[in-house]
Amino acid sequence: MSIAPLTDLSRCAIHTFTTKPLNLAQAVSAYQAAGVTGISVWRQHLEPYGCTEAARILADAGMSVPAYVRGGFFTGSESERGASIDDNKRCLDEAAAIGADQVVLVVGATPGMPLADARNQVTDGIAACLDHARGCGVKLAIEPLHPMYAGDKSCVNSMRQAREIWQELGDPLVGVAVDVYHVWFDQDLAEEIRLAGADQRIFGFHVCDWKCDTNNLLLDRGLMGEGCIDIRGIRQLVESAGFAGWIEVEIFSSTHWAKTQTDWLSEVTAAYLAEV
Amino acid sequence: MSIAPLTDLSRCAIHTFTTKPLNLAQAVSAYQAAGVTGISVWRQHLEPYGCTEAARILADAGMSVPAYVRGGFFTGSESERGASIDDNKRCLDEAAAIGADQVVLVVGATPGMPLADARNQVTDGIAACLDHARGCGVKLAIEPLHPMYAGDKSCVNSMRQAREIWQELGDPLVGVAVDVYHVWFDQDLAEEIRLAGADQRIFGFHVCDWKCDTNNLLLDRGLMGEGCIDIRGIRQLVESAGFAGWIEVEIFSSTHWAKTQTDWLSEVTAAYLAEV
């Protein structure tokens, strides 16, 4: 028995990368016009404005910012790891400047490095950012990525691996972003969501869909309803686990980016109400 | 501490799909010329010949046939499932006709069907083929596929899920084919290989590589050494678990198929000795 559909857009947030062709100001206007009041900002979309101007644009429009995307990439050589920690601190500063609740972490992976070793480096990297995150008042959300990104993007490929890190760190500032695209097939999903929720570590919930005929490993995500994920079923899991936050639409799609983005946003909000 | 490289091709088998442009007779000649005496035959490569002629070609060349590829696709409607079982029995007959040790099962998935339900259908489907397999003297090897195939190709995406099926069936004819491409990132790989080996259920070991810049979900596998998988480390795991059978090279690659296939085979055997 599934839960009821959402009846309004009050919890809907959209990642700026979902409308990649729009700059930040255009995205804010378009989301507002579509009735969407949450925006998760990617660094690429902030960069041309700088923090002060971006913060002003977001505040003037009354937008909430669930997430700033993305920090992480903690693995590598000694010097790479040091540079990464510095960059993550800058990322936290930027997140704080625009009032983001959390930084989403794509944790990194280094070809040839055993994934377990990489996860240890990730744990150390996050630990090194914790005081800074606390000072900023910004949370750190580990996003497990699909195993097809284990080669060079993320050594955390399951909710369990994310949990092992936040449990080891034992700091309420570190939790998880649950993206249906990356975890929908996980045999342990229900149990892992329950565990994360019990410790109030579900910081984000991202939606899109997995198309069975996916033709690109990065840029062919589906709009909710275009694929095979039981999105509402996963929403039921996170909500049963206590999550009541923003539902973030995060879709990378060359196909959808080729459309007029206001039309695309209409599709997004309709699918949100119908499928999430 | 890693085990030593292989010093000869005595355990090397090649899947006919690795040299897709060659027909069966051409593949047999080319593998022989390359010093390879094992061949895993795909149905597409057998079909133009029929079983009798294919069996003669293989026997005349003294080729061993570790695997016939592929059966499975057990999920779907009642009528689809019945048709699938019939087809798997034909597949077993063909495997027996060419002296194959095992049929590799890509078990199937049906978009919209919960993966756990699909796995139950797979278990039932394999069960329905067991007597026939016994009569043929052919084993059934469940091949866990990478989660990027969970949408419509395989609801078994981990060694653990394969184990849950062979344990439930409790028949020594049902085991697992371990393909490094599909399992290299699995946190539980060492333990699952140990469990499968302890019950003598590792029927096959397939090698290729995962390219970090993979550009196609199906047809861009890497030659051993082109990617990030610790292939020798996984060979060490399966051999420590008691596996001493054929090492099957299975690479789908538009890039490599575009080459003169005898040149490509030279690359394959060199990489086998250097990387496996």
Per-residue pLDDT tens digits for A117-175: 999 999 999 999 999 999 999 999 999 999 999 999 999 999 999 999 999 999 999 99
- The nearest CA of chain A is from the CA of B113 a distance in Å of 8
Q: What is the pLDDT of residues B62-109, one digit of tens each?
A: 999 999 999 999 999 999 999 999 999 999 999 999 999 999 999 999
**DSSP result, B55-122:** HHHHHHTT-B--EEEEEE---SSHHHHHHHHHHHHHHHHHHHHTT-SEEEEE-B--TTS-HHHHHHHH
- The nearest CA of chain B is from the CA of A209 a distance in Å of 11
| B13: enclosing H helix or E strand | strand B12-15
- The nearest CA of chain A is from the CA of B65 a distance in Å of 31
Low-confidence residues of chain B: pLDDT under 50: none
- Cross-chain Cβ contact A185/B217 below 8 Å: no
**DSSP result, A118-165:** HHHHHHHHHHHHHHHHHHHT-EEEE----GGGTTTTBS--SHHHHHHH
Domain boundaries along the sequence of chain A: 12-275
Contact A256, A264 (CB under 8 A): yes
pLDDT at site A70: 97
- The nearest CA of chain A is from the CA of B164 a distance in Å of 12
Asked if pLDDT for residue A191 goes beyond 90, the answer is yes
- pTM for the predicted model, two decimal places: 0.97
Phi, psi of B12 (to 5 degrees): -85, 125
- The nearest CA of chain A is from the CA of B276 a distance in Å of 15
Asked if pLDDT for residue A216 goes beyond 70, the answer is yes
Checking ipTM against 0.85, whether it exceeds it is: yes
**Nearest chain B Cα to A212, which residue?**
B151
How high is the mean pLDDT of chain A?
98
In the structure, what pLDDT confidence band is assigned to residue A1 with cuts at 50, 70 and 90? Answer: low
The CATH architecture assigned to A12-275 reads Alpha-Beta Barrel (3.20)
Q: Is the CA virtual torsion B195, B197, B200, B206 positive or negative?
A: positive
- Cross-chain Cβ contact B148/A152 below 8 Å: no
Strand-pair category, A38-42 with A67-72: parallel
Cβ-based interface (< 8 Å): residues of A facing B: 111-112, 114-116, 146-148, 150-152, 157-158, 160-161, 184-185, 187, 210-212, 214-217, 227-228, 230
Q: Which residues contact B247 (CB under 8 A, 6 or more apart)?
A: B6, B11, B12, B13, B205, B207, B235, B272, B276
- What percent of chain A shows pLDDT beyond 90? 99
Phi, psi of A215 (to 5 degrees): -110, 5
User: Closest to B147 (Cβ–Cβ): which among A151, A185, A212?
Assistant: A185
pLDDT at site A2: 84
Cβ-based interface (< 8 Å): residues of B facing A: 111-112, 114-116, 146-148, 150-152, 157-158, 160-161, 184-185, 187, 210-212, 214-217, 227-228, 230
Residue A187: its chain B contacts at CB < 8 A?
115-116, 158, 160-161
Q: Distance between alpha carbon B105 and the CA centroid of its chain, in Å?
A: 8
- Cross-chain Cβ contact B214/A160 below 8 Å: no
Q: What's the Rg (C-alpha) of chain A?
A: 17
Residue B163: its chain A contacts at CB < 8 A?
none
- Cross-chain Cβ contact A148/B214 below 8 Å: yes
Contact A103, A70 (CB under 8 A): yes
Alpha-carbon distance B118 to A228, whole Å? 13
**Nearest chain A Cα to B160, which residue?**
A187
Q: What is the pLDDT of residues A224-265, one digit of tens each?
A: 999 999 999 999 999 999 999 999 999 999 999 999 999 999
- Cross-chain Cβ contact B214/A115 below 8 Å: no
pLDDT at site B1: 60
- What percent of chain A shows pLDDT beyond 70? 100
